[in-house]
Each structure stands twice: as structure tokens, then as C-alpha cells.
Chains A and B, each alone.
Chain A
Amino acid sequence: GQQVMQIPQYQHVQEGEDFTTYCNSSTTLSNIQWYKQRPGGHPVFLIQLVKSGEVKKQKRLTFQFGEAKKNSSLHITATQTTDVGTYFCAGYSGGGADGLTFGKGTHLIIQP
């Protein structure tokens, strides 16, 4: 079945440094979704990418979808303490379970 790998599992940064998490799918995706989960909270949808090579920005967050629609990345510029949490990618292929497969997430830890 479809697998979605996400790296790194943990990332420690100093406040103000940049952060990137990478997501790779074993199959071509129809779209990819990104979620953020704050400590003690629930996953919250951030963005969905649909087109090959698509790049979207939300303030300091930049999301990219690969040309082959099998990989994606989330980059945060100048991290702030409010960015702390776990970032999940979820690949949609249109199959069973609504075709959505979650990566294991990247835990972002920020040291002030």
C-alpha cells in the first residue's frame, strides 16, 4: 500500500533559525495536505497542494509540491516559539480510507 515517509522525526532549532521538513510518497499523489498539532492538541489543517511544482506561502511558511507529485516540503523562516508542535504531511491518492495516508510527523522543538 501507499507509504508516506517524513523526515526528520525531531528537529531542534534556536528561535529565529529556519526549519524544513520533508515528505516522500511511494506513489504519485493527487494532492498533499499539511497539518500542525500543538502539544496537547489535535491536528489542524494548514494547506493543500494539488498541482505539480506548486508553491504556496502562508506568512513565514512555504509549502512545495514536487514536479513528480511524490514529494513535498514545508519550510518555516525565522522560527518563533508559537511554531512549536508536530507537523504532519498527508498524501491523498484517491483510494481506500479516503486515500489519505499520514506521515509520522516532524516534532519541532524551539530553544529560546
Chain B
Amino acid sequence: DAEITQSPRHKITETGRQVTLACHQTWNHNNMFWYRQDLGHGLRLIHYSYGVQDTNKGEVSDGYSVSRSNTEDLPLTLESAASSQTSVYFCASSESGFPQHFGDGTRLSIL
């Protein structure tokens, strides 16, 4: 069965460190998304991609970057982790206009 997997599931790091969260999907979807979820804010879009070599900024992109070198993967990098980036991060994929499939999430704590 097709799936979307995120790793790691949990991570603790220190401020100022670079952190990369992995997202891998086997749906063969063109569209991939990164969201962060914080209490009271729902799901906020960080970055998204419509296909290989395409990346776009979302609502809360400052301090984050992504790259899309193949269809399956969209890693999310925090260039210099800040405590405000402590959150739960979800990756999702879809075809345009169709429902998004979400990964299980990564709980990131920045101390």
C-alpha cells in the first residue's frame, strides 16, 4: 500500500542547530506540503511543492527551507533552530484538487 512516512517521530535539539525533517511518500503525488501545528493555530502551511525542482513559500516560511530533488521526498530544514519553532510538523501529499494524505508527524522540541 502507498504511504507517507516522516522521520524522526520525535526530536530534541538546541537553539542554533540545523535540523532536517524527512518526508517520503510512495503515492507518486506531484504535490507535497509541510505544515506546523500549534495549539490555537490549527495547521499552518510552511512550504509546498508542485513537483521536482519546484518549491514555494507558505504562510510561515521564515527560518525554514525545502528542496525537491525527486518525486518521493521533500525534506524540511530549519537553518538555525529557534525555540519558537518547537511544534508538531506534518508532511502531506496529494494530487491537485484531491484530498491530502498526511504523515504521522514529527514532534520537535528546541531547548
Contact = CB atoms under 8 A, between A and B. Distances in A.
A88 B90 CA distance: 15
B97 A43 contact: no
Contact of B102 (A30, A31, A44, A97): A44
Q: Mostly helix, strand, loop or mixed at chain B's interface?
A: strand
Contacts of B31: 98
A103 B104 CA distance: 20
Interface residues of B, number: 24
A104 B101 contact: no
A100 B94 CA distance: 11
B99 A104 contact: no
Interface stretch (B20-28, B41-49, B77-85): B41-49
Contact of A103 (B42, B92, B96): B42
B42 A102 contact: yes
A80 interface: no
Given A97-B33, A98-B48, A88 B101 contact: no
Contacts of A96: 56
A98 B49 CA distance: 9
Interface of A: 9, 30-31, 33, 35, 41-45, 48, 88, 90, 92, 94, 96-100, 102-105
Which 7 pairs show the lowest CB-CB distances between chains A and B?
A104-B42, A45-B99, A42-B102, A102-B43, A43-B102, A105-B42, A98-B31
